[in-house]
Amino acid sequence: MELKTYQKQVIDDLENYFEYLQNHKKADTAFNTFWQDKVGYYNPLTGEGMRPYQNTVPGAVHLSIKVPTAGGKTFIACNALKTIFDAMPDTKTRAIVWLVPWSNLLDQTVRNLSNPEHPYCQKLNSLFNHRVQVFEKRDLLQGASFNPSSVQEQLSIMVMNFASIRARNKEDRKINEQNSNLANFQINENDILEGTEKEALINVIRSLNPILVVDESHNAESDLSVEMLNNLNPSFILDLTATPKQNANIVSLVSAIELKKEHMVKLPVIVYNHQNIESVIESALHLQHKLENEAIALEKNGGKYIRPIVLFQAQSKGKEDNTTYDKLKAQLISVGIPDDHIKIKTAHKDELKGIDLMSPDCPVRYIITINALKEGWDCPFAYILASLADKSSEVDVTQILGRVLRQPYVMKHDSTMLNLSYVITASAKFQNTLQNIIKGLQQSGFSEKDYRDKDVMPELAKEEAQQKNLDEFLFPEQNKETANIENAFDATKIAFNTTQTTTTNTTVFEIEEMAIEQNAKFQQQIKNQDNTNLALTTFTEVGIKVKHYKMRENVAQQAQEILLPKFVIETPKNDFLLMEDGATALLDRVNLLKSFKLSDKDIQIAFKSISSELYKIDTEEIGNGEYKMFPFKIENNSMQEQITNYILAKPKEGQIKDLVHFVVKQIDKMPPIAHTEIKKYVTRILENMSPQELIDFNQYKLSYSDLIKKKINDLADTCAEQVFNDWLEIDKIKTEAIWKFEPAIIPSRIANDIGNSLYVHEGDMNGLEQQFILEISSFSNIAFWHRNLGRGKGFALNGYKSNHYPDFILVTKNNKVIVVETKGSDRDNSDSAAKLRLGKAWSTASGSNYTYMMVFDKNAIEGAYNLEKAISLLEQM
């Protein structure tokens, strides 16, 4: 199981934040700068931008990721753990406290993280070399495989619910009591929580300075919850939620449209309002039958096994009475539903315990509940939410709606109806019910655009229901007996035959027609959203106000018709991914390095040519929210002497092994170069060093590691460019005009206004860039110019160089496009030359209507232009 595109973006955002943290050292400064570069400065008066970092847990970096329900938050978190630990020193204990709000979610999390057959467990084992142990609280209290030695050697995930830490009852208070099973742990006096005993589990956890993963973190915003987080003495906190609260430090957010594109969810939700409960039940039974018949036909034609399930949501009348649900179950059986097809799941009765609802051997098709199936219940076979609330009530589906959104097998099915979900109600207060459906969607991370509704309850029935409400309020004693007959219905009024192969229910025909029509409109809506600024759509969807700037009206039409070419390669036919012959994909540097091997590359690196500095990993508390685990320069001769003595005391093989481990960790990932390839290459370098050179290397290992990484990058660049040129020669690489200007841009900072710009305001510029654009902006042949944005916001030349974002895009009045990169004379000419070669290759492959120019203020390299010459040529184009 690999990360989806949007999931990978979340991990990229997290890695990007750590780069900011490395540069700025303080969690708040890093966070604020991270978002300023994305959306500009925060304006407290207008609410634009991302509000500043909230330091609710001092001493720990506290970040939140927002992903809608069914978006795979847990899988993202499993991958994020590797990213987090990669940003920390090797000496950091790999201890995780995984917090969940409810017991059912705890059981599910433990099961999925520890089951070798489950993708979550498999991913953790892959990332942490199969050295992973998952603990429940009882395991920790008993010291079962939980000791100082095991904690140092593995990734330890301690899954606990909030109540375990808050310690409100006798059972939970055991976490604060003396425990002889944990006597082997060394606990510093400073780590002892006030009011607890030294060898208590809470203090062992505090001494480990753990990473916290807080699932459904919107439930952990109270003062008591914040106190709980602080009591765990964490070094890092990662919140997982679909609906972040005000204090969340959102580092990455996913738009609902991304889940729709990846077929993660069954949307839109089709909502149908009936006249009475009998109609709700009859429609639910027939609709389930219809969906199951479609699923059977689908499976016969090679599709996946699906058994659609109805969730009957009973109306709550105070304390749950299981006799009521038993009566409801009996009534369904009287209609003809087999007993084993129906299960009850309430706070006090759980007939689903131990049942695998995904198994083809499982007969369950109907589940009776109120809201026990809230967050943490994720059976994707749930398709229909049927509310059995009295018709005079508004239906509160807020807590349970997300349970029918998950798409089976994360794929688009050949049946339209199996790609949608359904809510059936009988509510006179239907508009209020719709508001609750919208709330339910919003709590799942979606929006009010993600449902379609039809109301067939006549106005007379609504008036009768409203009168009933008034009578119950005015004469409660007269209506007491009726109120106690909870969720009752007349089974004789329900027409349903389990042996029928086709349905005769007219409502199901209406729902099918509605589903097909609305799904087509919904898909068009998704397609239309593809033509909008995705970042702006995402920010708007989650309520973040962003200062954005639209195109100028006088050039907008011309700009919208322009498409810039990108390099593409043909992809092989793939039925699973629905790729036909001749399909193309954007060329990535990774494509060019598939055959790259370090084993035959030279290891010549001029280490002595650098001005070396000694670094160490500073793990001491810095204070004021400053991060504890990043490199700080030191000048300490005694430290150098200690390191030298330590190295000399080890045999050469041991020295090399230690240094290889350190260097490979510093180099980190360099896809698609395998980790083992990098390790072998670094080992070759170190094996060719003398003992004194190894001592020098150890003293200056951060600087030396950077040189090795640069060497590998240079070797990879050379190979990638050679393959790129070969593929161009044989037409394996082509260009396709696919990139277009965004309707609006979100620059981090805006520049001074200069005439003829594409957008109302353009991004900030340095002195040379401003000088250049001032010269050409008034030329009669230039229709408009645009300051191209970097960091994934603008147009990038893809190929053997990663992330080459030229500075400007100029468009003439006859639609000629000139892409311009400006360079100061102090720039690295080798890098500039490589970018220039890529730009020239792009303009040649794209045709005569596209030109790439590199402009220096002076001392231009071969093939580039000095400023004066470039301006002269541009005026003539």
Residue 791 sits in a domain of what CATH number? 3.40.1350
Q: How many CB atoms are located within 10 Å of the residue 207 CB?
A: 20
Length of the chain: 877
Is 786 found in the same domain as 682? no
Predicted confidence at residue 460, as pLDDT, reads 45
Predicted confidence at residue 163, as pLDDT, reads 82
Binned at pLDDT 50, 70 and 90, residue 266 comes out as: confident
Is 367 found in the same domain as 237? no
Question: Which tops the pLDDT comparison, 59 or 612?
Answer: 59
Q: For residue 554, tell me if it sits in a domain.
A: no
Binned at pLDDT 50, 70 and 90, residue 206 comes out as: very high
Predicted confidence at residue 544, as pLDDT, reads 74
Predicted confidence at residue 852, as pLDDT, reads 97
For the residues 471-487, what does the mean pLDDT come to? 41
Measured CA angle at 662 (ends 656, 667), to 5 deg: 120
Is 292 found in the same domain as 421? yes
Predicted confidence at residue 481, as pLDDT, reads 37
Whether the pLDDT of residue 819 is over 80: the answer is yes
For the residues 155-179, what does the mean pLDDT come to? 80
Phi, psi of 701 (to 5 degrees): -70, -30
Q: For residue 596, tell me if it sits in a domain.
A: no
Predicted confidence at residue 654, as pLDDT, reads 80
Work out the widest C-alpha separation in the chain, in whole angstroms. 97
Question: Which tops the pLDDT comparison, 347 or 823?
Answer: 823
Is 711 found in the same domain as 754? no
* Cα separation, 509 vs 449, whole angstroms: 23
Whether the pLDDT of residue 462 is over 50: the answer is no
Is 148 found in the same domain as 32? yes
Give residue 872's domain range: 740-876
Is 187 found in the same domain as 118? yes
* Cα separation, 377 vs 406, whole angstroms: 10
Tell me the pLDDT tens digit for each residue of 380-436.
Answer: 998 998 888 765 555 556 667 778 888 898 888 988 889 988 888 887 665 665 666
Is 240 found in the same domain as 279? no
* Cα separation, 191 vs 202, whole angstroms: 9
Among 242-246, 251-255, 743-747, 782-786, where is mean pLDDT lowest?
242-246
Tell me the pLDDT tens digit for each residue of 669-700.
Answer: 787 888 888 999 999 999 998 888 888 888 78
For the residues 454-483, what does the mean pLDDT come to? 45
Is 213 found in the same domain as 101? yes
Q: Which pTM does this prediction carry?
A: 0.75
Kindly list the distances between the CA atom of residue 547 and the CA atoms of 42, 67, 789, 866, in Å, as whole numbers in the listed order: 10, 23, 15, 36
Whether the pLDDT of residue 216 is over 70: the answer is yes
Binned at pLDDT 50, 70 and 90, residue 262 comes out as: confident
Binned at pLDDT 50, 70 and 90, residue 644 comes out as: low
Proportion of the chain above pLDDT 70, given as a percent: 79
Sheet of strand 564-570: strand arrangement = 584-586, 564-570, 733-739
Among 105-114, 411-420, 621-630, 770-779, where is mean pLDDT lowest?
621-630
Predicted confidence at residue 399, as pLDDT, reads 64
Paired tokens of 564: 């810039």
Q: For residue 331, tell me if it sits in a domain.
A: yes
**Any bridge partners for residue 238, and if so which?**
63, 213
Binned at pLDDT 50, 70 and 90, residue 757 comes out as: very high
Is 840 found in the same domain as 866? yes
Q: For residue 587, tell me if it sits in a domain.
A: no
Whether the pLDDT of residue 478 is over 60: the answer is no
For the residues 835-849, what does the mean pLDDT come to? 95
Number of domains in the chain: 4
Whether the pLDDT of residue 627 is over 50: the answer is no
* Cα separation, 271 vs 425, whole angstroms: 8
* Cα separation, 533 vs 523, whole angstroms: 18
**Long-range CB contacts for residues 476-479, cutoff 8 Å, separation at least 24:** none
Is 744 found in the same domain as 654? no
From 221, 103, 94, select the one nearest 158 (Cα to Cα): 94
For the residues 754-759, what does the mean pLDDT come to? 95
Q: For residue 164, tell me if it sits in a domain.
A: yes
For residue 574, give the DSSP letter: B
For the residues 189-203, what does the mean pLDDT come to? 88
- Examine the fold and report which residue of 716, 748, 776 is the final residue of a domain before the chain moves on: 716
Predicted confidence at residue 461, as pLDDT, reads 46
Q: For residue 637, tell me if it sits in a domain.
A: yes
Predicted confidence at residue 865, as pLDDT, reads 95
Q: For residue 733, tell me if it sits in a domain.
A: no
Among 256-270, 308-322, 325-339, 681-695, where is mean pLDDT lowest?
308-322
For the residues 616-629, what does the mean pLDDT come to? 40
- Examine the fold and report which residue of 471, 501, 527 is the final residue of a domain before the chain moves on: 527
Whether the pLDDT of residue 785 is over 90: the answer is yes
Whether the pLDDT of residue 624 is over 60: the answer is no
For the residues 308-319, what does the mean pLDDT come to? 75
Strands (E), 110-264: 132-135, 155-161, 211-215, 236-241, 250-253
Is 88 found in the same domain as 173? yes
Paired tokens of 702: 């951060």
Position of tokens 């309520």?
543
* Cα separation, 599 vs 670, whole angstroms: 15
Kindly list the distances between the CA atom of residue 860 and the CA atoms of 149, 837, 854, 866, in Å, as whole numbers in the listed order: 61, 14, 8, 5
Predicted confidence at residue 822, as pLDDT, reads 95
Binned at pLDDT 50, 70 and 90, residue 473 comes out as: very low
Q: For residue 400, tell me if it sits in a domain.
A: yes
Predicted confidence at residue 618, as pLDDT, reads 36
For the residues 78-85, what does the mean pLDDT come to? 93
User: Which helix (DSSP H) or strand (DSSP E) does residue 79 occupy?
Assistant: helix 73-86
Predicted confidence at residue 471, as pLDDT, reads 43
Residue 150 sits in a domain of what CATH number? 3.40.50.300
Average pLDDT, the chain: 81
- Examine the fold and report which residue of 716, 732, 765 is the final residue of a domain before the chain moves on: 716
Q: What's the alpha-carbon Rg for the chain, to the nearest Å?
A: 31
Is 510 found in the same domain as 384? yes
Predicted confidence at residue 639, as pLDDT, reads 47
* Cα separation, 705 vs 712, whole angstroms: 11
Question: Which tops the pLDDT comparison, 91 or 25?
Answer: 25
